[in-house]
Amino acid sequence: MEDYQECGVVGKGSYGTVMKCRHKKSGDYVAVKIMEDDGQNELIRKTAIREAKILKQLQHPNVVRLVHLFRTSARLCMVFEYMDRSIMQMLTQHPRGLAAAEVRRILWQMVLGLNFLHSQQIIHRDIKPENV
């Protein structure tokens, strides 16, 4: 993690914590999924490695891109492009709901991304507002 400056927690999930970070040399913001790897939980390690292998192969404008993968002594870290807006943020800013045209645009982008994943024989399994 020495190449990245931590900027804050984006979220926590069953497999780890996602941090917003800034690459020290380029200045680019990224999302780093940090999974503790103490060697005790083989399922977490296998799941993370499988996810990384799949994500490395995916290239689509509506699917978040895996930028880098690295391991420290006790962590497995997956570096993703940082998406600065989510549906949750948009709904927080517009508590009465979004305009119909905006909803259609978002749903169309989701359909395109999911269609691509399905064409690659991949099921997302974690679609929720925080991930859109």
pLDDT of residue 4: 93
Selected residue with higher pLDDT from 82 and 39: 82
Looking at the domain 1-84, which fold is it?
Phosphorylase Kinase; domain 1 (3.30.200)
CB within 8 A of 88, min separation 6: which ones? 129, 130
> Quick check: is 37 catalytic?
no
Q: For the chain, which residues make up each domain, given as ranges? A: 1-84, 85-132
How large is the average pLDDT for residues 55-59? Answer: 88
How large is the average pLDDT for residues 8-20? Answer: 86
Judged against a pLDDT cut of 70, whether residue 60 lies above it is answered with yes
How large is the average pLDDT for residues 33-39? Answer: 79
pLDDT of residue 40: 67
Judged against a pLDDT cut of 70, whether residue 29 lies above it is answered with yes
Nearest residue to 2 (alpha-carbon basis) of 60, 61, 72, 69:
72
Judged against a pLDDT cut of 80, whether residue 130 lies above it is answered with no
Q: Which residue is catalytic, options 3, 28, 37, 126?
A: 126
Mean pLDDT for the chain? 87
For residue 33, which amino acid is it? K
Tell me the binding residues for ATP: 33
Contact 79, 69 (CB under 8 A): yes
